[in-house]
Structure 1
């Protein structure tokens, strides 16, 4: 039976969309089949649409979301006393777009405003018409815990009160947010000491007398500075600015604001990563100081010339190198005073084209929803589909529980430094960065990265001698001497591998700037394969829109023979199961069950037979063409009766040429996230990165490695 949850706000500015995104993502991570429905579009002043919540969740929903009704159309029906007709239309849209295989539909209600005073009454009518349970969404503003509870309880009365069985509880948003005297959230609070913070999640939990098993505190969403950080591009749009230099405007984010009205000596401390610098166009000293900071690696969010004019051409010529470094520059017509006032009215809502920020809102919100409560929405007969959000969630949670230490030999690589900081902050793993400490800390500072408690910076020169004797002992049969060992240990990957061998760390991740061979060769020489394995192979976790598939081998073995291909299939199936993907193994070929002939097909046939004989507990079939393996309608005609065809989750490619080409084609053409390659068969976990890896890729590879360390340990 499908359950419907309606999110309704206790007032204005509670962050209803944020709560909806977080709850949706949390349910998706838990394997709950969730859909979204916003009956009525409620656009903000100056917003021409489309409706934000619907657009932000469109890509996350497996099925199309019903387009919301226009508010003017709604008001027309209400003014003509045609409320019943309105509700019938809303119910019709809900039923037309409701997926049959859904567990929960999240419904986002209207926000009560001066213009939409009827919102609470209409929310109640919609909830009744759709038989929805009520989840309140609140934000404290300047309220004390007792005052917050009063507002929640008053709103709950419109739906039967907190004792009513249909009123489930409340999500409290924007906890610990910087606020002004009127209770408005102000991300620029660092500029004004008169600003305070709203109450914290701890205060709500410890001082609450309202919440119980019948009316639950369903989520406590803290205010996070990064989630409110607009891009320089958003500032340019807001002011309708004239672009002087686009630079990195699309990716640089504003975390603080500096109105430059003082001398250079007194504003230097303001020139930090993420600062949006407002300066009159004739303040040549401030302009040049900002450019100098940019040339020194400080990622200034943007330099905005106020007053309607720009610096003289002679000054701008001195800024060319800073502009080439990515410093965005723009000009606006208002003076400093009016600019400051206008900036206070900046709409903090996430733009629809800011995918990075939308994903962060989803992820952060999902972390703070009561996961025990979510389990009640799981269908008893539901076979869980491991969706990409669920897979990533499991990775992070299992890595946290593993609590392992991972060495990163490429310690001075900017992406690696950022990934290490993220892993430390989210407690995914403790990371060891190998490299010159001063250089690493300088790169971190220039990138605006804080290397916290969970990141250890190790100078290779200070530890290298500790691993000379163990390496000589390990490789003495190969003629290893102290001199040769010390020379080879100059390579940070070799040093990191010895740290892993000796148990100083639990895993190794490299490859952001090194080749696969540079990463794997030391591991094969020093770590060696796990007991029972004679082969090292790799898999990618391919995060398709609605499920995670496993591809192997796409990175290591150029042309495995039948015996090796069978081993790759078994390794990949075991890895899939270890990470939550139920393995149904398809041995890929250009032939489906004998439709073609040739040596390449014979190899796959033999490999399938060997794998089945060694592991009769696994579902393995082949040879199968890719379409027969993945599409049920093709499988019915090409491989009827197959237990794998049409529903394969693990794809074993006959050679590296096929595997690598396929994974990259799927990844790039379908815009699919691929996590890996993850190496299989090593005695201790060593994992390679693509040299084009993003920070997020490195984070998830570190998480994979931490989990592998638990399995190998």
Structure 2
């Protein structure tokens, strides 16, 4: 039977969907088969946004229709029959999973004790312990959407807890834990202590602080709310949260001082002078960055104004609506920020907030979930993030002009994965991050033309390259290149590692490392591996990216370095030196090269399990191994695969990636004194996040 958890609340707008996302994400770390279930939904025909969000999470392998129990109408018509249906449909989901996250019903703006009671009854009948979500904010609907609700005192939260816990006990529901969401940031510990004192005691209690951006509507939500159309601006910026509303029913001289950070400015469409003033203020850098502009009223912009706007590169979204000022303002204020499949930034921010404030290890242990011997790609990625977070390192990202880098940086900072230094013009980077709705406040931003650092780096580079005749002036010109600047930071200890390549070639990224960082003692060459996350395990492939035709000595280097990399990432290394023949069955120059390399590995690392030459099937398949090499400790269970040349390695990793659906992480460079890693120029944001985590873990190993 699957372990399940029932998430419910005593009132509306507690953010329990955010909690459900965090719990689901936490369970994915330790279990390969996690399901979701919504016992009561508003409709079986209209899609439930929150259920869709949870099902869309990587790793959930269920169809939407499987995860719905009954509707509100079903419960009102016959509660007992509805409960029987819920139990039957839940059991069908439970049979397919190791753990199930059950998300209780929603509330209207008025709290309903009867609704909590029914949720408790459902939980008891499902045999699922309850995770109770309490709100740390007063439920004042319109004010809440403008971020002006008042925080509940710890005592008030304690009273809410006592009432809700009594309701759960009355229905004999088992309490698992309590989370106080949107709590007063200045009273987190006091809130936890008071709720812990409420019966039953010895129940885990966590508090998550208020984050206005999670309840504020996005500009995309504002656009839908006013039935508007995007007139001008960057569509990518529609995901930014609108943290305030400024109604500009006055002259521009009086409007400008009232603009606040992240505000949506509502302007009558015939007040074009205010529109132009708001755009100039946003572009100037001297006023707060606005989230967007809503032009209201059935007026077309005059042709001269249209021509003027065409001449400017406008990023700020300008939304047009036919509504009047009052209706426009009302629609915006009645719009809530919601998590959805499309709200990537809000999604990442919500997860980061959950992970920083909830003990994920305690949560999974209390639920009775043991770590699985199966390691899915998602579980491996989670492991990377957790290991990087445990001993944070500073990673430099030279490509601050790339939006993917900025988005990845915001995720990394929100999840406390690493400390970051981003290279570029600070004003430009912070303005772009603000326009994208990204929080890079914790990032260090450095200019690669900073005079003091350029002088220091140039002196060191000139010293390192004096044998090549490099002068101080040449060195000063060289180190202002972002790849050289970032590499010098790593070399001099100002950063622990570097990740680049999203906007530069591999050669541009790693050439400075060859010149400055150099190889580790005892290592002849820099090579690479890909971490290949298959459906149930992770393998190491090397070298698939750097050395075209390695010699036997270089192959031995690659094997030993790859085994060391495997250990860094929790993979027990069993090394297969691949060839087109197995054991003593074949001959020829290529086979002899692999045979010689295997002998060198055994000589240099006698403790390392290694087999070669060996064919891929004998290395990976136990049945083939029993026939070809029955006494081998590696055959049939290899974890590190060393390819005889780049052609074979590169094509094999891509074939496995495409045909087996494996997640390929890399290339991870190895053999350098300090970690430098290259990105594909087509890298996705998730690829950048994983590569930074990998680099941070490598830096932890270097320190040890």
**TM-score over 0.5 for the alignment?**
yes
In structure 2, the residue matched to 1:96 is 92
In structure 2, the residue matched to 1:265 is 253
Q: Does 1:354 align with 2:352?
A: no
Contact 1:295–1:321, Cα closer than 8 Å, also in 2: no
Question: After the TM superposition, which residues 371-520 of structure 1 pair with which residues of structure 2 at under 5 Å, given as runs?
Answer: 371-377=360-366, 382-410=371-399, 416=405, 427-434=416-423, 452=441, 455=444, 457=446, 459-482=449-472, 484-520=474-510
In structure 2, the residue matched to 1:235 is 222
Q: Which deviates the most, 667-676 or 653-662?
A: 667-676
Contact 1:21–1:57, Cα closer than 8 Å, also in 2: no
C-alpha deviation, 1:204, in angstroms: 0.7
Aligned counterparts of 2:210 and 2:574: Cα–Cα separation in 1: 43
Q: Which deviates the most, 515-524 or 351-360?
A: 351-360
Contact 1:435–1:460, Cα closer than 8 Å, also in 2: no
Alpha carbons of structure 1 residues 211 and 273: separation in structure 2 relative to 1, 3 Å: same
Q: Does 1:120 align with 2:116?
A: yes
Q: Does 1:369 align with 2:377?
A: no
Contact 2:52–2:341, Cα closer than 8 Å, also in 1: no
3-state SS of the aligned residue for 1:38? strand
Question: After the TM superposition, which residues 59-78 of structure 1 pair with which residues of structure 2 at under 5 Å, given as runs?
Answer: 59-64=57-62, 66-71=66-71, 74-75=74-75, 78=78
3-state SS of the aligned residue for 1:106? strand
Q: Which deviates the most, 13-22 or 545-554?
A: 545-554
- List per-residue Cα deviations over 1:257-293 (Å, max 9, x = no partner): 3332232233345667754332222111133334445
C-alpha deviation, 1:172, in angstroms: 1.3
Please, which runs of 5 or more residues in structure 1 have no aligned partner? 177-197
C-alpha deviation, 1:536, in angstroms: 0.9
Aligned counterparts of 1:263 and 1:671: Cα–Cα separation in 2: 59
Aligned counterparts of 2:491 and 2:111: Cα–Cα separation in 1: 67
The correspondence for 2:698, drawn from 685, 697, 708, is 708
In structure 1, the residue matched to 2:125 is 129
In structure 2, the residue matched to 1:345 is 334
In structure 1, the residue matched to 2:147 is none
In structure 2, the residue matched to 1:537 is 527
3-state SS of the aligned residue for 2:168? coil
Question: After the TM superposition, which residues 217-236 of structure 1 pair with which residues of structure 2 at under 5 Å, given as runs?
Answer: 217-228=204-215, 230-236=217-223
C-alpha deviation, 1:662, in angstroms: 6.1
Aligned length in residues = 682
TM-score by length of 2: 0.81
Contact 1:4–1:133, Cα closer than 8 Å, also in 2: yes
C-alpha deviation, 1:139, in angstroms: 0.8
C-alpha deviation, 1:680, in angstroms: 0.6
TM-score by length of 1: 0.80
Contact 1:168–1:215, Cα closer than 8 Å, also in 2: no
Aligned counterparts of 1:325 and 1:296: Cα–Cα separation in 2: 12
C-alpha deviation, 1:711, in angstroms: 1.4
In structure 2, the residue matched to 1:154 is 163
C-alpha deviation, 1:529, in angstroms: 0.8
3-state SS of the aligned residue for 2:520? coil
C-alpha deviation, 1:156, in angstroms: 1.8
3-state SS of the aligned residue for 1:158? helix
Alpha carbons of structure 1 residues 237 and 646: separation in structure 2 relative to 1, 3 Å: farther
Aligned counterparts of 2:305 and 2:622: Cα–Cα separation in 1: 66
Contact 1:634–1:646, Cα closer than 8 Å, also in 2: yes
3-state SS of the aligned residue for 2:164? helix
Q: Does 1:171 align with 2:167?
A: no
C-alpha deviation, 1:241, in angstroms: 2.1
Aligned counterparts of 1:693 and 1:273: Cα–Cα separation in 2: 31
In structure 2, the residue matched to 1:43 is 42
Contact 1:27–1:34, Cα closer than 8 Å, also in 2: no
Contact 1:621–1:645, Cα closer than 8 Å, also in 2: no
3-state SS of the aligned residue for 1:337? helix
- List per-residue Cα deviations over 1:484-503 (Å, max 9, x = no partner): 54454444433443443343
Alpha carbons of structure 1 residues 158 and 350: separation in structure 2 relative to 1, 3 Å: same
- List per-residue Cα deviations over 1:234-275 (Å, max 9, x = no partner): 332333324435741575313333332232233345667754
Aligned counterparts of 2:457 and 2:236: Cα–Cα separation in 1: 46
- List per-residue Cα deviations over 1:372-395 (Å, max 9, x = no partner): 422525768754444455444444
Q: Does 1:4 align with 2:11?
A: no
- List per-residue Cα deviations over 1:592-622 (Å, max 9, x = no partner): 9999999777766776676577465447687
Alpha carbons of structure 1 residues 408 and 5: separation in structure 2 relative to 1, 3 Å: closer
In structure 1, the residue matched to 2:561 is 571
Aligned counterparts of 2:277 and 2:229: Cα–Cα separation in 1: 21
In structure 2, the residue matched to 1:277 is 265
Aligned counterparts of 1:676 and 1:153: Cα–Cα separation in 2: 51
C-alpha deviation, 1:509, in angstroms: 3.2
In structure 1, the residue matched to 2:307 is 317
- List per-residue Cα deviations over 1:624-670 (Å, max 9, x = no partner): 558x9889999999999997788766555554445556666777899
Aligned counterparts of 2:304 and 2:667: Cα–Cα separation in 1: 51
Aligned counterparts of 2:237 and 2:264: Cα–Cα separation in 1: 14
Q: Which deviates the most, 692-701 or 585-594?
A: 585-594
